[in-house]
Amino acid sequence: MGDDKVISLQSQNAPNDSLSALLREKASELLQAAINAECVELLAQYAQVRDLN
């Protein structure tokens, strides 16, 4: 059994081609924009609230 074939999972899940890198970058930007839009909407919804009591 000295001939084990261990493969790193990281190498299988993270292709290093430029298209995949571009897709990851743009997906990250879209997610950040969506989170920012939701935060702006939530803050606008409660802009007039001064105290919950």
Domain coordinates in residue numbering, the chain: 16-45
Rg (CA), the chain: 22
**Confidence at 22, pLDDT banded by 50, 70, 90:** very high
The pLDDT mean for the chain works out to 85
CA distances to 2, 4, 14, 34, 36 from 10, in Å: 23, 18, 6, 28, 30
**Confidence at 13, pLDDT banded by 50, 70, 90:** low
**Confidence at 50, pLDDT banded by 50, 70, 90:** confident
pLDDT number for residue 3:
75
CA dihedral 44→46→47→48, nearest 10 degrees, is 140
